Amino acid sequence: MEAIIRYYNQYDESSRLTTDYSRRLEFITTTHVLDQHISIDDEILDLGAGTGIYSFYYAEKGNPVVSTDITPRHVQMIKAKADELGMNHVRTKVIDARDLSRFKSGRFDVVLCLGPIYHLTDLGDQERCIRECIRVLKPGGILAVAYVNKFFILPHLIQKDRKYLEEPWVSKILNDGRIFSHEVPGFWTDAYFHSPSEIEQLLTQRNIGKIANVATDGVSQYLRDMVNALSEEEFKQWVAYHLRTCSEPSILGMSNHGLFVGRKVD
């Protein structure tokens, strides 16, 4: 996890979901789906919160939120903003999502795991993270897990350099499902990629009933220049189209990011 912490200590995470239309679509889609299942009284645990964009979105609605991240710098930023806004219903902690032992079982109505799963390159660590998320959820509680789609990654890499269009890289992404930061200079950081069916299997076999599995970017990353050049009114129409199609399986397999939402079965 040291490489991931180093990366986010120098990365401007606060602007990742707000810089342009194609990136904003991930936030718009995620909140559109979650808003249908989160009520104002629900207590939310936000794991891998980054600089707190989802924490503050729900805190502004009145939800009590425990906002956490493994990067101390991020947690400091969240706390400073919460203090500035007088949001004493936002609490912060530096936490590794694989160990939630400081929280009692069945405490939270909602657990947002919108960052950790695609940075846990070890399958055992992924299982520990999901097991802990489920443990701290109330029966009937909502679990949301964001993932990076493995079918998006090779086309993304090829656009940067066609040297990745070789069998070893194809097999590595499709079969191994992970890339480490030292393997692709300038790529990102250590990351694991799931297919939509793999993320569903990971969660549904652990007593989480599927509510939705959606393409939070849809095809927008392939059309990034076009989407970012849209007028405000045109973008509203694009969002409307996207929200009507983001659950379509053929589009789900093309999206950069996906979101699985499920309910803990009693």
Per-residue pLDDT tens over the stretch 35-69: 999 999 999 999 999 999 999 999 999 999 999 99
The share of the chain scoring above pLDDT 70, in percent, equals 91
Q: Answer with the residue of higher pLDDT: 100 or 12.
A: 100
Q: What is the pLDDT of residue 234?
A: 96
- Residue 104: other Cβ atoms inside 10 A: 10
Average pLDDT over residues 172-195: 82
Q: What are phi and psi of 179, to 5 degrees?
A: -135, 140
pTM of the model: 0.90
Per-residue pLDDT tens over the stretch 212-255: 999 999 999 889 899 999 999 999 999 999 999 999 998 998 99
Average pLDDT over residues 128-154: 96
Q: What is the pLDDT of residue 207?
A: 87
- CA–CA separation, 75 and 57 (whole Å): 16
Residue 22's identity, in one-letter code, is: S
Residue 183 pLDDT level (bands cut at 50, 70, 90): confident
| Residue tagged 């009590």 (tokens) | 64
Q: What is the pLDDT of residue 7?
A: 47
| Residue tagged 């956490």 (tokens) | 68
Q: What is the pLDDT of residue 125?
A: 95
Q: What is the pLDDT of residue 6?
A: 53
CA distances from 154 to 13, 55, 221 (A): 24, 32, 13
Q: What is the pLDDT of residue 116?
A: 94
Length of the chain: 266
Least confident range of 87-91, 156-160, 232-236? 156-160
Answer whether residue 187 shows pLDDT above 80.
no
Question: Which 3-state string (H, E, C) describes the chain?
Answer: CHHHHHHHHHCCHHHCCCCCHHHHHHHHHHHHHHCCCCCCCCCEEEECCCCCHHHHHHHHHCCCEEEEECCHHHHHHHHHHHHHHCCCCEEEEECCCCCCCCCCCCCEEEEEECCHHHHCCCHHHHHHHHHHHHHHEEEEEEEEEEEEEHHHHHHHHHHHCHHHCCHHHHHHHHHHCEECCCCCCCCCCCEECECHHHHHHHHHCCCEEEEEEEECCCCCCCCHHHHHCCCHHHHHHHHHHHHHHCCCHHHHCCCCEEEEEEEECC
Q: Nearest-5° angle of CA 137, CA 139, CA 144?
A: 45
CB distance 104 to 136 below 8 Å? yes
CB distance 252 to 219 below 8 Å? no
| Residue tagged 């979650």 (tokens) | 34
Answer whether residue 18 shows pLDDT above 90.
no
Mean pLDDT of the chain: 90
Residue 161 pLDDT level (bands cut at 50, 70, 90): confident
Closest CA to 255 of 221, 210, 206: 221
- CA–CA separation, 192 and 171 (whole Å): 14
The share of the chain scoring above pLDDT 90, in percent, equals 74
